[in-house]
Amino acid sequence: MAITADSIRDQQRLTWDRFAAGWKKWDAELIAWHRPFGEAVIEDARLRPDSVVLDVAAGSGEPGLTVAALVPGVQVVLADISAGMLQVAEEKAAAQGLGNVRFSVCAAADLPFDDGTFDAVLCRFGFMFFPEMRAALREMVRTVKPGGRVSAAVWGRPAENPWASLVLGTLAHHTELPRPPAGTPGLFRCSAPGFMTRLFKEAGLVEVTERSVSTDLVHSSPDSYWEFMEDIATTMAAGLANADQHARSLIRSDVFQMLGRYEHQGALRLRSTATIVAGTRV
């Protein structure tokens, strides 16, 4: 079957619907791990107490729910292609009693909002999964007001992200992974320094800034790390699905062995680095 933007979007929708239960199960860990990235995205969006904010590819709710809880005067719309992921966000918003959040199931490249609706558009760890990153960014720029900000996070280079590159590198070693065609989703697709800045400038954004933010993914044991990855990491699951039983157990034991390098003060600490990019609509 030919790979088209529509087929990638359908695949993403199905995959993330399937992983929604995992993101719900590990919500507290994901929130703690990703907090520094969300804070940077929010900071660079330069929100005001009455901002109207769109969070694209909000998944299980971040960073939009943090904004809604921090600033009661803001209005937040969480948008995502996966109804399953947004359902998790909706349950969390209800549990927190947040009355200033709305939800929209839609694709990033086809946002169902009028021109200039929002004061800021956020997007944490979404771009890598969009079949047409430029079309998605065009929609973000269209829906933000003149003077408003688009602020996003994408994963940095593999060497700065052993939390994922450890498994993906081991997978590549043990399986014949077909080289993904250019333009298809991949965790490190946006990781080259300056890549996102170019994209933002080409989309007409000004005052474009790009910076790196790092933290650690912390787990108490290799078993806990592996279970977490199996539950939340869609790219690892796609790779493991291509491996037979024998290759899978080799991959697991190789990863467990290499994890020894990341033990520090009784816990596993795996470096995690994101690029934060933001720009202003003219």
- Residues in contact with ligand SAM by CB under 6 A are 9, 12, 16, 34, 57-60, 62, 80-82, 85, 107-108, 124-126, 129-130
Question: Rounded to an integer, what distance in angstroms lies between the CA atom of residue 149 and that of residue 66?
Answer: 18
Kindly state the smallest distance separating residue 112's Cβ from ligand SAM, in Å: 12
Q: What is the largest CA-CA distance in the chain?
A: 56
**Would you call the peptide bond into 63 cis, given omega within 30 degrees of 0 as the criterion?**
yes
Q: Which residues contact 122 (CB under 8 A, 6 or more apart)?
A: 41, 42, 45, 53, 54, 55, 56, 63, 64, 67, 151, 152
- Least distance in angstroms from the C-beta of 87 to ligand SAM: 11
* Complex with ligand SAM: residue 129 or 163, whichever CB lies closer: 129
Q: 107 or 150, CB closer to ligand SAM? A: 107
Based on CB atoms, which residue is closest to ligand SAM, 81 or 174?
A: 81
Locate the DSSP E strands across the chain.
Answer: 52-56, 75-80, 101-105, 118-124, 144-155, 206-219, 263-264, 267-280
- Distance of alpha carbon 170 from alpha carbon 174, whole angstroms: 6
Instruction: Judge contact between 172 and 109, C-beta under 8 A.
Output: no
Residue nearest ligand SAM (C-beta atom): 59
Closest approach, Cβ 124 to ligand SAM, in A, equals: 4
What are the b/e assignments for 131-153, b being 16+ CB within 10 Å? bbbeebbbbbbbbbbeebbbbbb
Q: What is the DSSP letter of 110?
A: S
In the complex with ligand SAM, which residue's Cβ is closer, 107 or 236?
107
Query: Which of 51, 82 has the CB closer to ligand SAM?
Result: 82
Nearer to ligand SAM, 23 or 262 (CB): 23
Q: Where are the alpha helices (DSSP H) in 233-265?
A: 234-241, 245-259
Query: What's the min distance (Å) between Cβ of 6 and ligand SAM?
Result: 10
- Least distance from ligand SAM to the Cβ atom of residue 137, Å: 12
The position carrying tokens 């969390």 is 92
Nearer to ligand SAM, 19 or 262 (CB): 19
Q: Look up residue 193 and give its DSSP letter.
A: T
**Minimum separation from the CB atom of position 119 to ligand SAM (A):** 19
**How far apart are CB 44 and ligand SAM at their closest, in Å?**
15
